[in-house]
């Protein structure tokens, strides 16, 4: 880097580039006051805004401030300019755990030590209402003493982000490590899905290869759903039994972290780590509020063109579509309907979806117009539009959720679900009033039998 740009915010001297992605670069740096080595993550604010990732970055900052643990990469401070966001983080020198596993299986004692540290850190996260959702060897770093450090909280979900059913619904993660209930897209417990991913990591450490693997993504998911894997003969019986209980395809039968930590194989040589108390109540709310306020104050306001201002305003809009990822797209395939493995009667699912080439703002406006015409209350929050009937039906007021997903900037998927009310009234409303009112913005319908075109 040029000498004039080597000093960051009068606090850090930037060094070599450690890595880069679509929206960020990571540099080695030195704190000018203390001399401490750190890693500086530099995020391009305009790219983040255009990519609709502003909330994800806020969440990552919030989470890393909540989870202070010896086996989690520490966030020291967040700084911002008009064009960049800077994370000053713990500099971990030992590289990724993946690089060790790539050379082959690890000795049992070494694998157990890493697994103990992983489970201890994940348990700490869960106690703070934090679910990582992308646990894999590439996101597990090693320090100079060979201790494990969890990194990359970009896909993390907070306890508060659960829906009314108490479950998370965003399908995300890395295919080979993702839990079966995440693939089916019917909602999942974040803690149980993290436990599954930890089990896959343990298998990889002990075996040197993945328990579920296939070049065809749909075949891979079928293997994961069935939970069929075979342990190599060099893994002892105690570890095999533990793996079978962790990698159980039914989340309700999967072993909990408490029981993992009381397992005889796990406890060998285990040392409990003392952790700081969790921020509770008002302290936690204040912590998250401070993150959002500091971040919002750093958004570009002056010295940017009109299109940039529009992007910033859109990013802070109450309704912002969720990105439609590979899990969502694959689930649309009729040949890949795995709901029968998790539901007693898949015909009871009251879900329909349509696609649209209209902007998200137009879709929202159309639902607002329908609400006015049909005497519904209208609310919007976090990419979801809610319509609540003012009249009492057979089973109370009819309430419908419409969640908007962005496939591309010019193509959207809208999923409709009955939140409450009578099923027959919901079906009649969807097939008549709703279809008729939405015809101007719908490109195509897809859903269960009562919504087929």
Distance of alpha carbon 412 from alpha carbon 86, whole angstroms? 32
Query: Residue 330's pLDDT is what?
Result: 64
* pLDDT for residue 135 is more than 60: yes
311 assigned to some structural domain: no
Do residues 357 and 395 both lie within one domain?
Answer: yes
Do residues 358 and 332 both lie within one domain?
Answer: yes
Q: Which of the two residues, 378 and 144, has the higher pLDDT score?
A: 144
The enclosing domain of 76 has a CATH number of 3.30.200.20
Structure tokens at 222: 């079928």
273 assigned to some structural domain: no
Do residues 139 and 259 both lie within one domain?
Answer: yes
* pLDDT for residue 277 is more than 80: no
Do residues 76 and 211 both lie within one domain?
Answer: no
Q: Which of 44, 55, 134, 165 is catalytic?
A: 134
The enclosing domain of 134 has a CATH number of 1.10.510.10
Residue 41 marked in a binding site: yes
Distance of alpha carbon 332 from alpha carbon 340, whole angstroms? 15
pLDDT, one tens digit per residue, over 73-96 is: 999 998 888 888 899 999 999 989
pLDDT-wise least confident of 133-137, 433-437, 443-447:
443-447
Mean pLDDT of the chain, nearest integer: 82
210 assigned to some structural domain: yes
User: What does the longest C-alpha to C-alpha distance in the chain come to?
Assistant: 73
Do residues 110 and 72 both lie within one domain?
Answer: no
Query: Residue 279's pLDDT is what?
Result: 52
Do residues 147 and 261 both lie within one domain?
Answer: yes
134 has catalytic annotation: yes
Do residues 326 and 362 both lie within one domain?
Answer: yes
283 assigned to some structural domain: no
Our CA angle for 269, 151, 16, nearest 5°, is 120
**What's the domain range around 185?**
97-267
In the chain, the number of structural domains is 3
Q: Which one of 92, 125, 155 terminates a domain? A: 92
46 assigned to some structural domain: yes
Mean pLDDT of 27-36: 94
Interhelix angle 237-246/190-207, rounded to 10 degrees, is: 150
Q: Which one of 227, 249, 267 terminates a domain? A: 267
Do residues 323 and 433 both lie within one domain?
Answer: yes
pLDDT, one tens digit per residue, over 141-193 is: 999 999 999 998 888 888 877 777 778 888 888 999 999 999 987 889 999 99
389 assigned to some structural domain: yes
**Residue-wise burial string across 239-258, b where 16 or more C-beta atoms lie within 10 A, e elsewhere:** bbebbebbbbbebeebbebe
Query: Residue 352's pLDDT is what?
Result: 84
Q: What percent of the chain has pLDDT over 70?
A: 81
């Amino acid at each position: 880097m040029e000498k004039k740009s080597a000093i960051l915010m009068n606090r850090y001297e930037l060094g070599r580039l450690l890595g880069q992605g679509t929206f960020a670069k990571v540099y080695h740096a030195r704190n000018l006051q203390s001399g401490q080595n750190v890693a500086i993550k530099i995020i391009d604010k305009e790219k983040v805004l255009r990519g609709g990732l502003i909330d994800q970055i806020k969440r990552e900052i919030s989470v890393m401030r909540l989870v202070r643990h010896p086996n989690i990469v520490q966030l020291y401070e967040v700084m911002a300019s008009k064009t960049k966001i800077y994370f000053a983080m713990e500099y971990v020198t030992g590289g990724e755990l993946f690089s060790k596993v790539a050379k082959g299986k690890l000795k049992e004692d070494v694998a157990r030590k890493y697994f103990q540290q992983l489970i201890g850190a994940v348990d700490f996260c869960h106690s703070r209402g934090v679910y990582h959702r992308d646990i894999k060897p590439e996101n597990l770093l090693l320090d100079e003493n060979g201790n494990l450090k969890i990194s990359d909280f970009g896909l993390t979900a907070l306890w508060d982000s659960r829906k009314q059913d108490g479950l998370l619904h965003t399908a995300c993660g890395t295919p080979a490590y993702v839990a079966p209930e995440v693939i089916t897209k019917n909602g999942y417990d974040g803690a149980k899905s993290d436990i599954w991913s930890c089990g896959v990591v343990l298998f990889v450490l002990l075996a040197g290869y993945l328990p579920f693997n296939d070049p065809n993504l749909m075949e891979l998911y079928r293997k994961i759903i069935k939970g069929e894997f075979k342990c190599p003969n060099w893994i002892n019986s105690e570890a095999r039994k533990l793996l079978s209980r962790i990698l159980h395809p039914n989340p309700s039968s999967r072993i909990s972290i408490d029981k993992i930590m009381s397992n005889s194989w796990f406890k060998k040589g285990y040392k409990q780590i003392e952790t700081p108390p969790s921020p509770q109540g008002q302290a936690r709310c204040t912590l998250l509020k401070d993150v959002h306020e500091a971040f919002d104050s750093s958004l570009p306001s002056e010295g940017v063109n009109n299109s940039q201002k529009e992007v910033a305003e859109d990013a802070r809009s109450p309704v912002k579509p969720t990105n439609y990822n590979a899990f969502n797209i694959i689930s649309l395939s009729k040949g890949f309907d795995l709901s029968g493995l998790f539901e007693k009667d898949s015909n009871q699912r009251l879900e329909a979806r349509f696609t649209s080439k209209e902007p998200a703002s137009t879709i929202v406006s159309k639902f607002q117009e329908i609400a006015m015409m049909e005497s519904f209350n209208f609310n919007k929050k976090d990419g979801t539009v809610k319509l609540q009937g003012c009249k009492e039906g057979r089973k109370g007021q009819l309430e419908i959720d419409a969640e908007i997903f962005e496939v591309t900037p010019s193509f959207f998927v809208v999923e409709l679900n009955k939140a409450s009310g009578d099923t027959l009234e919901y079906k009649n409303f969807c097939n008549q009033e709703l279809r008729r009112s939405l015809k101007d913005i719908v490109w195509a319908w897809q859903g269960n039998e009562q919504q087929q075109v």
